[in-house]
Every structure is written in C-alpha cells, then in structure tokens.
Structure 1
Amino acid sequence: MADRKLLAGHAVRRLRRRAGLTQAAMAEALAISASYLNLIERNQRPISATLLIRLAETFDFDPRALAAAEPGGGVEAIRRRLADPMFADLDIDRNELEEWLAGAPGGAEAFARAFDSRGSGVGATDPADPIAAVRREIERWRGYFADLDTAAEALADELRMGAGDLYGAIAERLRVKHQLTIRVLPVDVMPDLLRRLDLHARQVQVSETLDSASRTFAAAFQLAQIEAKAEIDALAKGAGLADRAADRLFRRYLASYFAAGVMMPYARFLRACEATGYDLELLQRRFGAGFEQVAHRLTTLQRVGARGLPFFMVRIDRAGQSSKRFSGASGAALADAEGRCPLWRIHHAFDRPGSLAVQLVELEDGARWLTMARTVTPQGRRYGAVPVEFAVGLGVAAELGAGLAVARGVDLTGEATPIGLGCRACLRPACPQRSAPPMGRALLIDERERGVSAFTFGGD
C-alpha cells in the first residue's frame, strides 16, 4: 500500500478552491512549479510522499482525506464492484481502472453511486440502511480516526501515570472528575442489560456477567462519551448522516473506538504487535482485552508514518450472516462481499470453539490472503439461556504475512485453498461445494452428464 501511486488531482483541486487560491498561488505555497501542480490536478502526476506532507502542513488537513476522496472509494473499491458477475465478461484490468479514475473521476463516482443504489450484488448495500450508512462512513476513513485516536492515547498515558490498574484508574477519574461511580449489579437486577447510565443516582451500572475486559471497556466507553464529546461531535457532524438512527449508531461506534484506543493505546499497541508478530493471545493478555477487541483494533492501525499491517475483520454467526465487517486499509473483498464461501475456514471455527483456525486462501482474481478465525461468545450469557456464538475472522494479504506468529510453518507462496465470495458471485466452474449458479449466468442442464458440481452454468 505504501508504494501505491496516489492520483488525487480532483481532491487537490477542491482543496485549492476552498482555500480561494489560484494554481500559481498554491504552487508557490508548496514550493513547486505551477505547471507541476497543473499536472497533479489533471491526474497526470501522482502526489509524492514529500508533497503530501507539505500539503498537510501548509493547509492543515488530514492526508487521508485525499485517499478517502478518490472517486467511488478508489481503484480497489471500484474493483470490488466490478467483481459482480454481471461484469465478468468485460475483463477490465487495473490499468484501465486507473486511467478511468484519472480521466473521468466524475463518471467513476457516478458509476459507484448507481451500483450501490441497486441494493444487490457484491458489496452493494441498501443506501437507506443505517447500518450500511455507518459502515460506509467508517470505510471512508479507512477505519482510522486520527483525532480520536490521539486523544484516546493521551488519556491512556495520563491514566497510566496515575495507576497501574486501568479499570481502577478510569473508575477513579469518573468518580473524581465527573461525579460518577461504577456499580456492578446482580444479573437479576439487570437481566437484559449489560451497561446503563443512571444520571439520577450518578452511577454507571454494569452487569456482573461482564468479564474484566468488558468491564474496562464499558468504563472507558462512558469516559469517551464525556471527555471525547467534542471529537465525536465533529466527526458525526462531518459525516452528515441524515438518518437519526445512523447518526446515533455512528456516535456509539466512535465512543467504542475511543474506548478501544484507551485500552490499547496506538503507539504501545503497534510496538507490541511488531514485537510479538501480531500474536493475538499475547496481545490479549498484555492489554487486558478480549479476542474480538484485539481483532477490531488491528484493522485501525493506519496512522500516517506509523502504520500497522492492513488487516480486515468479519464476524459471522452459524448461518453465515455478518454482524461486523471492517476492511480498513486492506481493500479486502472478503470483508466487503455480502456472501461467503463455505470453503473458507471461518465457518470451521464453530467446530473447535476457542481454537484459532489458520488458512491460506486464494480468490478468483489471484489475491491471496492469510486468514485466521476463532469463535467468541457474547458477554452476558447465562447458564440455561439460548446459546449464542459468533466466529471472528481476520486476514492480511499473504505477501505481508511472513512475520506473523501464525505464519510460522506456513508456506505463503505454496498451495492455497481456492475460494470465492459466495456462490452467487463465484465463477469457479467445478466446485463440489457449490449451492447455486452465479448471478448473470445461465444454468445448463444435461440429462446425459453429471459433473462434480450440482450446477453447471454457461459462459458470458
């Protein structure tokens, strides 16, 4: 990702116009020639790392906004849309996409919006769905919120200086600074709730069913709602989510993001990741966090100048339905696709609860991913209640996985399991696991033959 050419002329042009500058004036401020700036704005030259830093310093903006502003989310996002079977016969390569985005950014953005409004296909969602709206906003930021993360890290350092016990330090800060006490209540008092703010009693009430990691998270979440309110308000306002439910859901996500940042402060967490080879169990123990909390945090490590590996994360139930999907900076179609392949071992995690299932997979476009999956059980579960279980899957591009603890003994250039993005989006012709033909392809029935797949389909 670091060496990817960034063609963002349209974004630079908008930045210049917002500043009310001519090309000559902006070029002078950036210490470059006006002709060079003109080439950048026409997407005939990429933005260098040096110029990107100079833009950020001179015009006080987040460099990630350039990538986030790419038409349709950029090349990788457009490629995921073109993975829909209806485009299978077009064979559009990456160079064509880059030329399209560079030459007709407005047309690419229009295509993306029209495709997404269909409400079907690979990675497409209902634009009126508040959950989908929030996810789009999270992915627009590549999963990383710089101001929020910096504030969380500063608070974590302050709490750490005061006490070695993070939960105790947060509880003390809530009590002294905000006149809120944490009270752990019996399950019969809070049978259907895990956390509740009682302003009348000035209490943050948490269920006794929460483990230590979840109690710390609940306390940090409450602190986020108070002390990170300005940052959360600014991000929510910038998102411009008209739907009330979407706005509230996004604010809840941001408070959770802050809480995770307090529990796993960016710099310390990244150092620990790199020192341990992203060892998930060690990271859990070192930061007093749960598996799912660590997994999600791994998708957010995109600070400029201190990036972690670009992981994606999904969480599914036994029926294969996803309740969380974060592609972060990975550009992973596995996170964006609505369907999943049964040959991907994220489904096998349910067979061995608590054990990590590691697998090297290869998609139809040749992309190879090192994936790992493990089951998690939601907090608040009681004996005799309905059993609830999810599988959390993580993945990183295979070429980046050599230093991972889970990659020891795995030949990342060797044989990989061929998988798709769900049967309706997969064009692999002889898959014995296939449960439906791909969309847009005619189903062929031959009474004289029976192949290994129950469904044979036509070409274009």
Structure 2
Amino acid sequence: MTDRKLYAGAAIKRLRRSAGMTQVALSAALDISPSYLNLIERNQRPLSARLMLLLADRFDFDPRKLVAAEPGGGVNGLSRRFADPLFQDLTVDRTELEEWLVAAPNAVEAFVRLFDQRDSGSPINTFKVADPIQMVRREIEKWRNHFADLDAIAESLADELRLGAGDLYGAIAERLRVKHQLTIRILPETVMPDKLRRLDLHARQLQLSEMLDSASRTFQAALLLGQIEAQSEIDGLVAGGKFEDRAAERLYRRHLTNYFAAGIMMPYARFLRACEQTGYRIQVLQRRFGAGFEQVAHRLTTLQRVGARGLPFFMLRIDRSGQISKRYAGASNAPLVESINRCPLWNIHRAFERPAEVQTQLLALEDGSRWFTLSRAVQGIGSGAGGYTPEFVIGLGVAGDMAASLFHANGIDLSPEKATPIGLGCPACTRVQCSQRSAPPVSRALKFDDRERGLAPYSFAGD
C-alpha cells in the first residue's frame, strides 16, 4: 500500500452488503461510530491502516483489493484515458482526478465505461462492438487471476498422479487411457502441418504435433484432462461470468482450462514453496516442474491463495512491433499492464537482441511507484506467415519494494535513486527533456521558441 490516502467507500459498501450487515453492525465490529462509517462509505473520510487490517481480518480478504476496486483503476487508469487526443486541449492533473474519484466515484465509473466503449478511430458518437478479449480480461482481473477452487482440484489431482508415476506426462497419459479410454499419439509435422493438437473422438485419440516440446506436450495432455475432470467447476465459473458474447464465453473457458492445466503441472503449494526457496529463480522452476518460461511466468501471476500468497507479479507478452498479445495484472495493480503504449527506455524491448538472457531493470513511474521487471525472449511453435518462427518477449514485474528477495535482483541496487525514470508511453508521459521522446504529451499544450532548442524535440507547458 502507498502512503497516499485511500478512499474506498464503494468497495466497503459492497463488502458490507455482501455480508448482509447494516452500517450499525459493521461499525460495531470495527469499533467506530455508524456516522463515521457512513462518511467512509460516502468517500468523505479515508481508511486508516487500523481499519484496513480489521476489515481484512473480518472478511478474510487482501486489503490491496481496495485499491483495485477504485473506479477505472484509480488515478493511474484515469490518467491513461485522459492521455487520449480527444482531451489534448484540457489540462487535467492528478489532484483534479483524485478529487473527482472522491467526490463522484459512480460518475467516474460511468465515464470509464463510456470511454472504454468508444472507438478512438471513429467519431465520438459512434461505438464499437464490445471486445470479447477485453470482456474476458475484466472477468479474469475481477478474480485477480486466482481461481481457488480450480487450484484445489488441480492440486489434489496432481498429487494423485504423482503417486502413480514419477513422470507427469506418462501419468496423465495413463489416466486418460484407463479412466477415459483416450490415447495420446504424436504425429509428424507433415501430417499436422497447421495444427498443434487435435482431439479425434472417433479414434479416441489426442493427437499432438511432434513440433511440441516436452513441456508443451505435458500441458496439452493436462488440458484435455482438465476439460474432462474439471468440467463442472469450469462450467460454474463460466456461468458466473454472465457473458452475453459467445466468443467471450469461449475465450474465458479456454483461459480457465489452461489455468487448470498449469495447476496440474505446477501444483499451488509445491510451486509456491519452490518459489520461496529459490527466490523465484525462473530457470530452476522450469526444470523442477518441467515447464517453459512462459508457463512459469503465467503461473507467477496467480499466487494469491488466502493465507499462502506469493509475490504479486504482473505479466506482459509483446512482439517485435510492440503489440501486446497477453497481459495479466494479477494482484499487482501495475499501471504498466493497462497502458496502451510503453516507454522505449524500458528494456523489455531489448530482450529480442539477447534471447537467452533474462533482462532486469528497476523502473520509476511518474506516479512515484517503482517496479522491478524481468524480460526474456521466447519462441513460439511452428511457422507463421512467410515461414518465420514467431518470437515474443515475456515481461514480468513486481513492486520495487518487494523485489529484494528475488534471485534475479541479487547484486542490484534497489534504492529509488537507481531506478530508471520512464512514462506510460510518450502521449501519456509528461517527463521533461527526454531525448527519446517521439510525441508530445497530449495533456500539455506545446510551446515554441525559435531562438533555442532543448534536448527533447518538443517543449510543452510545465516544461
């Protein structure tokens, strides 16, 4: 938690109502007056550290959820939206956004919903069809990418499989054969030139491409097992998402099934224990659990079991053009995940140059937060357009003040003055005299002086 005042009236009210409590009952449990609780719920008083601890104890939840519950992602989320060119003639600073959040949280939420629907390439009065990927992301982040029931079932199943054989892939294959009358067959790339996996129910076979490495074969086998043996739990979570869009529903189901497969390969308690013993050393985690770098990175964003939480990592996956194909905030509340653009001073972009190395960096954002990041290039499977093997960079990050225990932070000075100052992409960044700047901040008016030129290509109000 940061030192700034936290106003979370809407979140407190939801907690109270979900517990079926009146303001009088909750105020008694917190040892405060009903009138003071009323002020808190109306965002006229901030939460103290004592009240946050009492609430966490009473409702058994992570107090960081209060920050995540701020409309639109709080000040950082609003700042990102106000960086849109639509608002370039306005100067809306953080103080104004903070006051708006406190005074009218429902109005902020309404603005966020409206803005997020707007197609920035269309006239302001036109709207795009809801993006199924964004719909699924919202549902995943609502759960902070931690699905406790799926983890519990996967963990139990993993223990049962481990008793049968030391080789997880072999144990899954045997269970599929004996319990579900399904066999696994590895087929040549020439037979499956454009497929990595195919379930042939007529032949009762899971057919896998020979192009899959051992970690991917295990994952695909575990995925099929999850589709069968965790179907009811996954059905319940999908139904709870209440998706009206069929594509979003299918994407969410895919995410949950993938989550379950990862839970079999990297059972929660054993994986968290290994993380803490090794300092989250990714290479060791890969070897110990027979997983790939990207699979481990995914798993690191899910460690939020009540009473057994890991570090709150976020994860991004980008391609060479900088496009994001995966993003998980987990419990991190990291602005870097939500940002549309990225700063070229973040070394995530340089990881393509040294694909075998993990690049580390301590970053400082304009909001004062610091983030320790790990980036490494990975290759996809098969060949894309033009016959090229797909390449991506996986970016992982955790709050700077939590990074001291990481193996990858050994020997790195994590003090604030050693952090690289970056922004959330040039249009949203107001840092002055940055020679790497490619565009002016849309929230500032440009200034011109024909008699001199600074290091940066643009000068703007506040410079």
TM-score (norm 1): 0.86
**In the alignment, what sits opposite 1:302?**
304
**Which residue is equivalent to 2:171?**
169
Residues 195 and 67 of structure 1, relative CA distance in 2, 3 Å threshold:
farther
State the alpha-carbon separation in 2 of the partners of residues 318 and 398 from structure 1. 26
User: What pairs with 1:43-192 in structure 2 (closer than 5 Å)?
Assistant: 46=47, 48-55=52-59, 70-73=70-73, 77-78=77-78, 81=81, 86=87, 89-93=91-95, 97=98, 101=101, 104-120=104-120, 128-192=130-194
Q: Structure 1 residues 12 and 435, CA, compared in 2 at 3 Å: closer, same or farther? A: closer
* Cα deviations by residue, 1:163-186 (Å, 9 ceiling, x for unpaired): 211111111111122221111111
User: For the Cα contact (< 8 Å) 1:207–1:380, is it kept in 2?
Assistant: no
Residue number in structure 1 paired with 2:422: 419
Shift of 1:74: 5.3
CA distance in 2, matches of 1:3, 1:308: 22
Q: Say which SS state the counterpart of residue 348 (structure 2) adopts.
A: coil
For 1:306 and 1:425, how far apart are their aligned partners in 2? 37
Q: How many correspondences in the alignment?
A: 449
In 1, distance between residues paired with 2:308 and 2:240? Answer: 25
- Alpha-carbon separation, structure 2, partners of 1:118 and 1:418: 31
The alpha-carbon distance between structure 1 residues 38 and 427, as it changes in their structure 2 partners (threshold 3 A), is closer
Alpha-carbon separation, structure 2, partners of 1:156 and 1:354: 30
Deviations 1:27-67 (A, max 9, x none): 89x797883876765565855445445446xxxx9999877
Instruction: Measure how far apart 1:345 and its partner are.
Output: 0.6
Equivalence for 1:441: 444
Gapped regions of structure 2 (runs ≥ 5): 122-126
Alignment-derived partner of residue 201 in structure 2:
199
Q: In structure 2, what is the equivalent of residue 452 of structure 1? A: 455
Alignment of 1:313-392 (within 5 A): 313-381=315-383, 385-392=387-394
Q: Counterparts of 2:5 and 2:265 in 1: how far apart (Å)?
A: 34
Cα offset, 1:298, TM superposition: 0.8
**SS of residue in 1 equivalent to 2:240:** helix
Match of 2:432 among 404, 429, 451: 429
Counterparts in 2 of 1:231-242, with a 5 A limit? 231-242=233-244
Residues 457 and 52 of structure 1, relative CA distance in 2, 3 Å threshold: closer
- The 2-side partners of 1:9 and 1:450 are apart by 48
Task: Look up the SS of the partner of 1:329 in the other structure.
Answer: coil
Q: Which residue of 1 aligns with 2:210?
A: 208
Aligned-pair identity in percent equals 64
Which letter maps to 1:357? Answer: Q
Corresponding residue to 2:223 among 204, 221, 239? 221
- The one-letter code matched in structure 2 to 1:108 is V
CA contact (8 A) 1:77 1:331 kept: no
Distance 1:189 1:79, change over 3 A: same
Q: Which whole-Å CA distance do the structure 1 matches of 2:241 and 2:212 have between them?
A: 32
What SS does structure 2 have at the residue aligned with 1:347? helix
Distance in 1 separating the partners of 2:4 and 2:235: 33
How big is each residue's C-alpha offset from its partner over 1:115-136, in whole Å with a ceiling of 9 and x where there is no partner? 3233459xxx977111122112
Instruction: Assess, with a 3 A threshold, how the Cα gap between structure 1 residues 102 and 446 changes in structure 2: closer, same or farther.
Output: closer
Q: CA deviation at 1:457?
A: 3.2
Secondary structure in 1 aligned to 2:390? coil
SS where residue 387 of structure 2 aligns?
coil
For normalisation by structure 2, the TM-score amounts to 0.85
Counterpart residue type for residue 247 of structure 2: A
Q: Is the 8 A contact 2:187 2:209 kept in 1?
A: yes
Task: Return 242-251 or 207-216, whichever deviates more.
Answer: 242-251
Distance 1:458 1:10, change over 3 A: closer
Cα deviation code 1:149-203 (max 9, x no counterpart): 2222222122122221111111111112222111111111110111111111111
Structure 2 residue 260 is the aligned partner of structure 1 residue 253: no
Given candidates 406, 409, 413, the residue that maps to 2:408 is: 406
Give the drift of 1:12: 5.5
Per the TM alignment, residue 91 of structure 1 is displaced from its structure 2 partner at its CA by 3.3
Maintained 8 Å contact 1:71/1:101: yes
SS in 2 for 1:376: strand
RMSD value, Cα:
3.4
Task: Report the alpha carbon displacement of residue 360 of structure 1 after superposing the two structures with TM.
Answer: 1.5
Amino acid at match of 1:146: A
CA contact (8 A) 2:238 2:249 kept: yes
CA distance in 2, matches of 1:370, 1:62: 22
Shift of 1:312: 1.1
Does residue 273 (structure 1) correspond to residue 271 (structure 2)? The answer is: no
Contact 1:126 1:132 in 2 (8 A): no
Cα deviation, residue 316, structure 1: 0.7
Cα distance in 2 between the residues matched to 1:190 and 1:275 = 41
**How far apart are residue 338 of structure 1 and its match?**
0.8
Distance 1:367 1:54, change over 3 A: closer
Offset of 1:288 from its aligned partner? 0.6
* In structure 1, distance between residues paired with 2:345 and 2:82: 23
| Native 8 Å contact 1:311 1:396 kept in 2 | yes
Deviations 1:189-241 (A, max 9, x none): 11011111111111111110000100011111111111121222222122222
Preserved CA contact (<8 Å) 1:263 1:287? yes
